[in-house]
Chain A
């Protein structure tokens, strides 16, 4: 019977996953994952099963490591996402969190774009730490992505996006994520991509300030290639700040819609 064991195609006569584990390790502190699901009881192996056996507290070899990072994904889903490339425009509360989620999901290539540096007022909602203060956001985020999954290809651009450079930068990307703060910049990016890159889909955000109900934040398909996440209403303004929970809920909507689109699902 052929199975994949810790990322390697393996021919085995062993019938159960616990028997298989005994051939690898006698450690008690292990995690056993079969086809994306962590099993606690024994499991009878079938042809083409994907099995990952992780000994906790032990750093695996590099060739086993990738299979362990991706072990909780449904196997074919990870293969598709690993081949995908996504661009994220703006690395604030939305973009930084989206980039981290896409990295954890195993998107193979991520382009991250922002002109700005990390400053203290970012830390209330953006995925940076004190050690990143004054760094370019692109560099601070790339460091984190590679610390989560070193098998991801991360490209960075420290530029201010406008009508003159959007088309050239995002040409060839099947999905661009709009994650700006400024509404006019959001509109410019969306308009430019919709009119000049007709085969690119854009996942944008509008309305996530304050601490209004989480359930007001939704994903909607608005035009042929435009998806918008948010409550569409609650803007950041004096007296209504941007706060981590709703910004991250909205970021989660965007990241999940991006994953759905990459897997061929256009329904929100």
Chain B
């Protein structure tokens, strides 16, 4: 699986929300593109990710 340009490995298919939480992302602060498609936050729990996917995750930090 390619995450923000880096190759990592996941052994089983899992939901996007599980993957994000497992990798310490804060769900309310991210934008996620899976294989070139933006995934709305409401779909995080019923979107599956697997080892062949490419994910781009932007995690916002505060300040402006």
Query: Interface of A with B (CB < 8 Å)?
Result: 90, 92-95, 179-184, 186-187, 190-191, 194-195, 204-209, 222-224, 226, 228, 230, 232-237, 242, 247
Contacts and interface: CB of A to CB of B under 8 A. Distances in A.
Contact of A191 (B26, B38, B61, B63): B38
B30 to A, nearest CB: 6
B61 A187 contact: no
B31 A95 contact: no
A248 B48 CA distance: 40
B38 A209 contact: no
Interface in B27-59: 28-31, 33, 36, 38, 40-41, 56, 58-59
Judged by DSSP, the binding face of A is mixed
Judged by DSSP, the binding face of B is mixed
Contacts of B64: 90, 92-95, 179-181, 186, 205, 208, 242, 247
B63 A195 contact: no
Contacts, number: 83
B47 to A, nearest CB: 13
Contact of A234 (B29, B40, B61): B61
B31 A226 contact: yes
B17 to A, nearest CB: 14
A247 B62 CA distance: 12
Contacts of A179: 64
A199 B57 CA distance: 21
Contact of B61 (A190, A207, A224, A226): A207
A232 to B, nearest CB: 7
Contact of B58 (A180, A181, A228, A235): A228
